Amino acid sequence: MPRSNRPRSRRTPDRAPASDDALDLDRLRSGLKRTEVKRAGAFSVQSVSAAAAVKVYSCPGCRAEVPIGQAHVVAWRADGPMSDDAELAARRHWHSYCWRMEP
């Protein structure tokens, strides 16, 4: 029988499956979480790309809609009195401009 020159697929323990790679790319596309300090306290802020904006939200800064397909930011208290899960559930979607102008 002739020898096959095709490389054999080997799975190394330090290599994650392809589905984890896709998850990491989605996380990078959606924006990295950062902490910003405003007058009201510290906030965790994450950018949302236009491709990831699939719902309509109401911006607390101007009370206008953040439409589908518009890049914006999501912010929640990082130093609030509630638990981390409760603060995350209380997050708000802001127009990027409104968030920058918020004191």
The pLDDT tens digits for 14-70 are 554 555 544 445 555 556 889 999 888 899 999 999 999 999 999 999 999 999 999
Higher pLDDT, 93 or 40: 93
Q: Is residue 50 part of a domain?
A: yes
DSSP 101: H
The domain tally of the chain equals 1
In a domain, 21, yes or no: no
17: in domain: no
Name the nearest CA neighbour of 68 among 85, 84, 93, 51. 51
The answer to whether residue 71 sits within a structural domain is yes
47 closest CA partner among 67, 15, 70: 70
CA distance 45 to 25: 19
- Domain carrying residue 54: 32-101
- Asked whether residue 16 is domain-assigned, the answer is no
